[in-house]
Amino acid sequence: MRATIIHGPRDVRVEEVPDPTIEQPTDALVRIERACVCGSDLWSYRGERATPEPRPIGHEFIGVVEEVGSQVERVEAGRFVIAPFTHSDGTCTNCERGLTSSCDNLGVWGAAGADGRQLGGAQAEYIRVPFADGTLVPLPQQPEVGDYRDLLALSDVLPTGHHAARCANVTEGGTVVVVGDGAVGLSGVLAAQRLGAGRIVAMSRRPDRQTLARRFGATDVVDQRGDEGVAAVCDLLGGRLADSVLECVGTEESMRQSLGVLRPGGHLGFVGVPATDPALHIGAIFPHNFHLAGGMAPARPYIDELLPDVLAGRISPGLVFDRAVPLGNVGDAYEMMTLRKSIKTMVTP
Amino acid sequence: MRATIIHGPRDVRVEEVPDPTIEQPTDALVRIERACVCGSDLWSYRGERATPEPRPIGHEFIGVVEEVGSQVERVEAGRFVIAPFTHSDGTCTNCERGLTSSCDNLGVWGAAGADGRQLGGAQAEYIRVPFADGTLVPLPQQPEVGDYRDLLALSDVLPTGHHAARCANVTEGGTVVVVGDGAVGLSGVLAAQRLGAGRIVAMSRRPDRQTLARRFGATDVVDQRGDEGVAAVCDLLGGRLADSVLECVGTEESMRQSLGVLRPGGHLGFVGVPATDPALHIGAIFPHNFHLAGGMAPARPYIDELLPDVLAGRISPGLVFDRAVPLGNVGDAYEMMTLRKSIKTMVTP
């Protein structure tokens, strides 16, 4: 089959690799219908994260089950499925608590699986899914192709935005600021709107993203950054700062900006993957009694929560996909997203 | 009147100073019945925090109202009162939210008041209380002298331990670890027990504190620290880590120890005042989806919550006071606490 392999900075190639097969009785084999490129894939692409040896890449997909192992009970061949960006067993203590991203048998597509072996990437034709019963979300019926992008958004970007909103304790009528206008930040705006936030300030400097932020429910847009951005938000809110801030970037600068617009006792939810391991100083938190929470979203249970709204057409998270390319041109997707010519690009195998 | 003035490291003196008077119509004047020395007073005493010029010290007291300004309505002369360790107006947005420690008119006894002027300290005979209606908690009747120490504990140490427990989301049946065996840590044990924790592990190396921790509800005591302490707690809990950790020290080491015993998705409540501004690295939080919250306790509303249990004799938080001295010997209190010969020393003017 064809699969995307990253070799190093600005070097992703679509190569012929062996077809995956069922290896464990709990595996499923999925034919990928749609995949996409994530902001975190770009770190390796831009060389901000090392690629010591070539590896498959991509961790978001929807598709159709081709074959299942003998112990798989919840999905069967022919079933259309959504995959969260990690696999999880669904049975350990953390999964039972709803924290599938801390599963005892966690694996991230394109990275190491629970057994330490390399997992397949999602920017490919097929993928082997360990712990299929715990991992895959079967749809009741085959969706329309026109709905694929909304369903694909459930793999990572919407659950991650939703996680930011949950961690930031977004409540009915609350005031929310979203830091970061990537696909995750925009999804955070949508998630905050869905949870009933009264006012949502999107911090964004790019017109296309500002437009989508408003479509997703932003009531205000602030296009300054850093200290200027903090001052602009304070002006806008009349000194009453945000109850909830969604930090969707992952740098020390964006953390500082986030804390700068948070009211005393407010909640910061952070989901921006910390590329450089930013530090939070207790001295900046302590005087204000801030609440902080964040990390890798437990996408699996969130898909259950979010899917009905997608199927009913109440939300259209797939609007973050403003471009689409065939698998053979996946390199273009990386380049367009790196150049910010695309918010998020869908890939069709 | 006589008041304790700190001049520099290991130099606290009881001096004659002018009697405080009513300055604002919202002030009350309180005759102090009992005060005490706080772990945070010791920073200045040990020279870890500079004392650029002599200042009054002490921020915990109970006493009797001597006189009130013309606009004070909720307390009157002769009323026995408990004072939280800060004053607050009770009417601003933060006070209305219950976050009196972020009051727009915040002042800490012995430090700067809302108007920037030096406030009196509590290790003294009398004190002027700004915003008396918002600040003071009147008792229904004059308490017995034997109950003073339990009531004095409501000024700071129990509300602060309770804040740690609340920030750490202590729940019925939950597993709790308390890091720090000072008066605040021990009060945190009591607060966790009061909130129904199922298992409470106190990390303490000193026999007198271990004994009190058990009396306050600790089910287990671990006397190792750092990595060894983390390993010992993990062994004790059989690998299922704590749902809630109360960090009651305020150093980078204690933060690391606290995160080391927290389960994925668990809650860390920190109230140890950060003397050295420890840093938290997002990379240590992100993979585990930890929740963190903490800061200066909003003691005022917590006193309302905790007082009924004290008055009914259901809890005895005053057991943290293992020594008492007259005001003239307040220097002994500092020295005994510095040498850890006393957990917390009460002072009688």
Residue-level pLDDT at B252:
87
Asked if the Cβ–Cβ distance from A291 to B293 is below 8 Å, we say: yes
Is residue A1 within 8 A of residue A126, CB to CB? The reply is: yes
Residue-level pLDDT at A130:
98
Residue-level pLDDT at A272:
85
Residue-level pLDDT at A116:
86
CA A214 to chain CA centroid, Å, is 20
Q: What is the mean pLDDT of chain A?
A: 96
The CA distance from A203 to A210, in Å, is 8
The CA distance from A84 to A303, in Å, is 8
- In angstroms, the separation between the Cα of residue A96 and the nearest Cα of chain B is 12
- pLDDT band at B349; cut points 50, 70, 90: very high
pLDDT in tens, B203-213: 999 999 999 99
Q: Is B20 helix (H, G, I), strand (E, B) or coil?
A: coil
Chain A, window 295-314: residues with a beta carbon less than 8 angstroms from a chain B beta carbon: 295-296, 298
Is residue B47 within 8 A of residue B56, CB to CB? The reply is: no
Residue-level pLDDT at B348:
98
pLDDT in tens, B244-255: 999 999 888 899
The CA distance from A76 to B66, in Å, is 80
Cα distances (Å, whole numbers) of residue B161 to A45, A266, B117, B192: 48, 20, 29, 8
Q: Is the pLDDT of residue A21 over 90?
A: yes
The CA distance from B44 to A276, in Å, is 36
Residue-level pLDDT at A283:
85
Q: Is the pLDDT of residue B277 over 80?
A: no
Residue-level pLDDT at B324:
98
pLDDT in tens, A196-232: 999 999 999 999 999 999 999 999 999 999 899 999 9
The least confident of A302-311, B20-29, B229-238, B279-288 is: B279-288
pLDDT in tens, A285-294: 999 999 999 9
Phi, psi for residue A13 in degrees, rounded to 5: -130, 145
Q: Is B207 helix (H, G, I), strand (E, B) or coil?
A: helix
pLDDT in tens, A98-134: 999 999 999 999 998 888 889 999 999 999 999 999 9
Residue-level pLDDT at A284:
87
- Token match 């003998």: residue? A70
Question: How many beta carbons lie within 10 A of that of residue B313, not counting itself?
Answer: 9
- Token match 């009914």: residue? B312
- Is B158 exposed, middle or buried, given 0-12, 13-18 or 19+ CB atoms closer than 10 A? buried
The CA distance from B211 to B223, in Å, is 12
- pLDDT band at A244; cut points 50, 70, 90: very high
- In angstroms, the separation between the Cα of residue A24 and the nearest Cα of chain B is 27
Q: Is the pLDDT of residue B274 over 80?
A: no
- The tokens describing A73, both together, are 């009970």
Tell me the average pLDDT across B22-45. 96
Q: Is the pLDDT of residue A274 over 80?
A: no
Residue-level pLDDT at B200:
98
Over the Cα atoms of chain A, what is R_g? Answer: 20
- pLDDT band at B52; cut points 50, 70, 90: very high
Asked if the Cβ–Cβ distance from B264 to A94 is below 8 Å, we say: yes
Residue-level pLDDT at A276:
74
Chain A, window 19-58: residues with a beta carbon less than 8 angstroms from a chain B beta carbon: none
Asked if the Cβ–Cβ distance from B287 to A295 is below 8 Å, we say: yes
| DSSP characters over A191-211 | HHHHTT-SEEEEE---HHHHH
Is residue B32 within 8 A of residue B126, CB to CB? The reply is: yes
Tell me the average pLDDT across A163-180. 98
Q: Is B306 helix (H, G, I), strand (E, B) or coil?
A: helix
In single-letter form, the type of residue at position A335 comes to E
- Token match 């298992």: residue? B199
- In angstroms, the separation between the Cα of residue B291 and the nearest Cα of chain A is 4
Residue-level pLDDT at A278:
79
Identify the H or E element spanning B135: helix B132-135
Residue-level pLDDT at B115:
87
Asked if the Cβ–Cβ distance from A282 to B289 is below 8 Å, we say: no
- The tokens describing B193, both together, are 């027990």
Residue-level pLDDT at B112:
85
- pLDDT band at A273; cut points 50, 70, 90: confident
Query: Which candidate from B94, B264, B274 shows the least CB-CB separation from A286?
Result: B274
The CA distance from B61 to B125, in Å, is 10
Asked if the Cβ–Cβ distance from A294 to B289 is below 8 Å, we say: yes
Domains identified in chain A and CATH numbers: 2-156+298-348 (3.90.180.10), 159-294 (3.40.50.720)
- pLDDT band at B276; cut points 50, 70, 90: confident
Residue-level pLDDT at A211:
98
Is residue B175 within 8 A of residue B309, CB to CB? The reply is: no
In single-letter form, the type of residue at position B58 comes to G
Comparing CA positions, the residue from B331, B291, B10 lying closest to residue A97 is: B291
pLDDT in tens, B96-133: 999 999 999 999 999 988 888 899 999 999 999 999 99
Q: Is the pLDDT of residue B141 over 90?
A: yes
The CA distance from B287 to B282, in Å, is 9
Q: Is the pLDDT of residue B91 over 80?
A: yes
pLDDT in tens, B145-159: 999 999 999 999 999
Residue-level pLDDT at A14:
98
CA B169 to chain CA centroid, Å, is 18
Is residue B136 within 8 A of residue B75, CB to CB? The reply is: yes
- pLDDT band at B308; cut points 50, 70, 90: very high
